[in-house]
Structure 1
Amino acid sequence: MALDPNENPDKSIHKFESMLKTDDVYFFDAEDFEEIIHHYLNNGKVALGKKAIQFGLQQHPNCIELKLLHVEVLVFEDKFEEANRLLDELQNIDGQNEEIYIQRANIQSKLDNHKEAVRLLQEALELANDSFDIHSLLGMEYLFMDDYEMAKQSFMRCLEYDDRDYSSLYNVVYCFEFMEDFDGAINYLNDYLERNPYCEVAWHQLGKMYFSKQMYNEALASFDFAIISDDSFLGAYFEKAKVLEKLGRYAEAIDCYETTIEIDDPTSHAFLRIGKCHEKLGNDDLAKYYYYNTVHEDPLLDKGWLAITNYYFKKKAYKKALHYINKAINIDGENARYWKKCAEIYAALKNFDEADFAYKQAIDLGNFELETWVKWATVLENTADFNSAEQVLLQGMEFYPEEAVLHYHLALVYLYMGNAPEARKKVKSGMELNADMVTDFKTELLRYKHLSWITVIFANNKKTSTK
Structure 2
Amino acid sequence: MQLSHNEENNFSLTRFESMLKTNDVLFFDSNEFENIIHHYLENGKIALAKKAVKLGLAQHPTSTNLKLFKVEILVFEDKLDLADGLLNELQGLEASNEEVYIQKAQILSKRDNHQAAIHALEMALEITLDEADVHSLIGMEYLFLEDFENAKYSFMKCLEADEEDYSALYNAMYCFDFLDQKNEAIEYLNMYLNKNPYCEVAWHQVGKQYFDLKDYEKALTAFDFAIISDDYFIGAYLEKGKVLEKLGRYNEAIENYRITLELDDPTSFAYLRIGKCFEKLGADKLALDNFKKTVHEDPLLDKGWIAITDFYIKKRNYQKALYYINKAINIDEENVLYWKRYAKINNRLNFYEEAEQGYKKSLELGNYELETWIKRCDILIDLGEFETAIQNLMQAMEFYPETAEIEYRLAGLFFSLNEGEKAYFHLKNGLKLDAEYYIIIEELFPTIFRRKSVKEIINSYVKTS
Q: TM-score, normalised by structure 2?
A: 0.87
- Mapped contact 1:268–1:297 kept (Cα < 8 A): yes
Cα deviation for residue 429 of structure 1 reads 4.0
* 1:160 aligned partner, one-letter code: E
* 1:460 aligned partner, one-letter code: Y
Cα deviation for residue 426 of structure 1 reads 3.7
- Mapped contact 2:271–2:290 kept (Cα < 8 A): yes
- Mapped contact 1:211–1:219 kept (Cα < 8 A): yes
Question: Separation in 2 of the partners of 1:119 and 1:249?
Answer: 53
Question: Separation in 1 of the partners of 2:83 and 2:219?
Answer: 50
Please tell me whether residue 413 in structure 1 is matched to residue 409 in structure 2.
Answer: yes
Distance 1:458 1:216, change over 3 A: farther
SS of 1:9's partner is: helix
- Mapped contact 2:412–2:441 kept (Cα < 8 A): no
Cα deviation for residue 228 of structure 1 reads 1.3
Within the candidate set 6, 9, 13, 1:9 is matched to 6
Cα deviation for residue 148 of structure 1 reads 1.4
Distance 1:309 1:454, change over 3 A: farther
SS of 2:142's partner is: helix
* 1:337 aligned partner, one-letter code: L
Partner of 1:361: 361
- Mapped contact 1:318–1:345 kept (Cα < 8 A): yes
* 1:205-244 mapped onto 2 (5 Å cutoff): 205-244=205-244
Higher mean C-alpha deviation, range 24-33 or range 449-458: 449-458
Could you report, residue by residue, the CA deviation over 1:202-255 in whole angstroms, capped at 9, with x for unpaired residues?
111121222222222222222111111111111111111112222222222111
Question: Separation in 1 of the partners of 2:200 and 2:400?
Answer: 46
- Mapped contact 1:420–1:457 kept (Cα < 8 A): no
Partner of 1:60: 60
Partner of 1:422: 426
Partner of 1:109: 109
- Mapped contact 1:424–1:461 kept (Cα < 8 A): no
* 2:109 aligned partner, one-letter code: S
Higher mean C-alpha deviation, range 134-143 or range 421-430: 421-430
* 1:184-333 mapped onto 2 (5 Å cutoff): 184-333=184-333
SS of 1:21's partner is: helix
Please tell me whether residue 89 in structure 1 is matched to residue 89 in structure 2.
Answer: yes
Question: Separation in 1 of the partners of 2:426 and 2:377?
Answer: 17
Total equivalences in the alignment: 449
SS of 1:334's partner is: coil
Question: Separation in 1 of the partners of 2:294 and 2:428?
Answer: 52
* 2:188 aligned partner, one-letter code: Y
* 1:124 aligned partner, one-letter code: A
Cα deviation for residue 296 of structure 1 reads 1.9
Partner of 2:461: 460
Question: Separation in 1 of the partners of 2:433 and 2:256?
Answer: 52
- Mapped contact 2:431–2:438 kept (Cα < 8 A): no
Distance 1:85 1:380, change over 3 A: same
Partner of 1:434: none
Question: Separation in 1 of the partners of 2:264 and 2:153?
Answer: 36
- Mapped contact 1:198–1:229 kept (Cα < 8 A): yes
Question: Separation in 1 of the partners of 2:105 and 2:2?
Answer: 33
Please tell me whether residue 18 in structure 1 is matched to residue 18 in structure 2.
Answer: no
* 2:67 aligned partner, one-letter code: K
Q: TM-score, normalised by structure 1?
A: 0.87
RMSD over aligned Cα atoms: 2.8
Question: Separation in 1 of the partners of 2:215 and 2:431?
Answer: 43
Partner of 1:74: 74
Distance 1:287 1:444, change over 3 A: farther
Please tell me whether residue 157 in structure 1 is matched to residue 161 in structure 2.
Answer: no
- Mapped contact 2:139–2:155 kept (Cα < 8 A): yes
- Mapped contact 2:393–2:410 kept (Cα < 8 A): no
Distance 1:399 1:14, change over 3 A: farther
Partner of 2:378: 378
* 1:372 aligned partner, one-letter code: T
* 2:429 aligned partner, one-letter code: K
Could you report, residue by residue, the CA deviation over 1:99-118 in whole angstroms, capped at 9, with x for unpaired residues?
22221111121222222222
Partner of 1:435: none
SS of 2:6's partner is: coil
Distance 1:255 1:396, change over 3 A: farther
Partner of 2:141: 141
Unaligned 5+ runs, structure 1: 432-437
Question: Separation in 2 of the partners of 1:392 and 1:356?
Answer: 11
Question: Separation in 2 of the partners of 1:338 and 1:97?
Answer: 58
Cα deviation for residue 49 of structure 1 reads 2.3
Higher mean C-alpha deviation, range 109-118 or range 154-163: 109-118
Higher mean C-alpha deviation, range 18-27 or range 210-219: 18-27
SS of 2:403's partner is: helix
Distance 1:237 1:395, change over 3 A: farther
Distance 1:95 1:391, change over 3 A: same
Question: Separation in 2 of the partners of 1:193 and 1:454?
Answer: 77
Cα deviation for residue 44 of structure 1 reads 1.5
Partner of 2:419: none
- Mapped contact 2:431–2:461 kept (Cα < 8 A): no
Partner of 1:338: 338
- Mapped contact 1:71–1:83 kept (Cα < 8 A): yes
Distance 1:412 1:105, change over 3 A: same
Distance 1:291 1:386, change over 3 A: same
SS of 2:328's partner is: helix
* 2:211 aligned partner, one-letter code: F
Cα deviation for residue 342 of structure 1 reads 0.8
Cα deviation for residue 155 of structure 1 reads 0.9
Distance 1:25 1:423, change over 3 A: same
Could you report, residue by residue, the CA deviation over 1:71-98 in whole angstroms, capped at 9, with x for unpaired residues?
1111112222221221121122122323
- Mapped contact 1:271–1:294 kept (Cα < 8 A): yes
Question: Separation in 2 of the partners of 1:194 and 1:459?
Answer: 78
Question: Separation in 2 of the partners of 1:217 and 1:187?
Answer: 17
Question: Separation in 1 of the partners of 2:16 and 2:386?
Answer: 83
* 1:277 aligned partner, one-letter code: C
Question: Separation in 2 of the partners of 1:90 and 1:337?
Answer: 58
Question: Separation in 1 of the partners of 2:264 and 2:108?
Answer: 42
Question: Separation in 2 of the partners of 1:393 and 1:216?
Answer: 46
Distance 1:135 1:309, change over 3 A: same
Partner of 1:348: 348
